[in-house]
Amino acid sequence: MSLGNLVLIGVALFAILGAVGAFTIAFRRSQIDQPVDLADPTAGVSSETLKADKSMSGVRVEPLPVPVVEETVDEVEVEVEVEVEVEVEEPELVSTAIRVVETQRVVEVSPEEAGVTRRQFFNRAMNVTFFSFLGIMGINSLAFFWPKLSGGFGTDVDAGALADVKKQVFASDGSIIPLFVPEAKAYVVPAPANLSEQYIGKQVETDGLMALWQRCVHLGCRVPWCGPSVGFECPCHGSKYSSVGEYFAGPAPRNLDRFTVEIRNGRFIIQTGNIIQTARAPFMTVKYPQGPSCIGASTTSEA
């Protein structure tokens, strides 16, 4: 698993954990925001807050004294002979009111005790997501521009044992079948008996074999092998090359590009990091075409 995939999995896990955390915080806030029972001063207060509030622990609140009104009756002398009605005035009841004063006490707490607010959580989650995206883009950019140190196109590619390569290129009936090596994006073909002067000293041939790049030099299309004509013919715009990659017809400006090759410990090595470009050959070193064209395009050169 590549580093980019691991980073993507980590970001996905972080996003899932962030969503679960956000849901938990929102649920707890919704429980706190419920209507508060005024009869209970601690209603709506979380259990964590009740445990943390120890300011009234061990304090006994005495109720306010209620004044007692004593009833007094005036003494009246009553004579036997005279019947006197005495009116007793009832004392006025004095209502006593108790005023409850609520005070708000502000206590500063440390950030560890206060925890992370919802705003801080979302801000941090967005920052982490953004910088993770930048990190992934940076890693992918470095992987794109950084040269490959081993394996694949641009390095030395082992096409196989020399004997096996020759068995695949030279058929038993005397015909040739180019060996396509996907890792090198190259065709392994027989080298001409008389190598053109433009290839001398460039290490494009070893032990009778050459390696041609599959890319057409016109616009980069892949050039397939044409068995009837015994050459390479581009289906995009009709460029044609001989079996050793020499230009024959079409809009291509030069011969097919080729790689330097060598024999290492009995194995045929294609050095895809060394690309050899040559102009159109002044003369054909091999016969072409040897049969009908695969793309059916006639050119002036063939006439």
Q: What is the pLDDT of residues 52-106, one digit of tens each?
A: 665 555 556 556 565 655 555 455 454 545 454 556 566 666 556 677 667 777 7
CB within 8 A of 280, min separation 6: which ones?
246, 247, 253, 254, 255
Residues 124, 126, 127: CA angle, nearest 5 degrees: 65
Alpha-carbon gap, residue 196 to 200, rounded angstroms:
7
The residue whose two tokens read 């299309």 is 221
Its CATH class, for the domain covering 156-276, is mainly beta
Burial class (CB in 10 A: 0-12, 13-18, 19+), 70: exposed
pLDDT of residue 105: 73
pLDDT class of 283 with cuts at 50, 70, 90: confident
Helices first, then strands: H and E counts in the chain: 5, 11
Q: pLDDT of 110-158, one tens digit each? A: 666 666 778 888 888 999 999 998 889 888 887 777 655 555 678 899 9
The full set of domain ranges for the chain reads 1-24+111-146, 156-276
Q: Is-contact 188 169, C-beta < 8 A?
A: yes
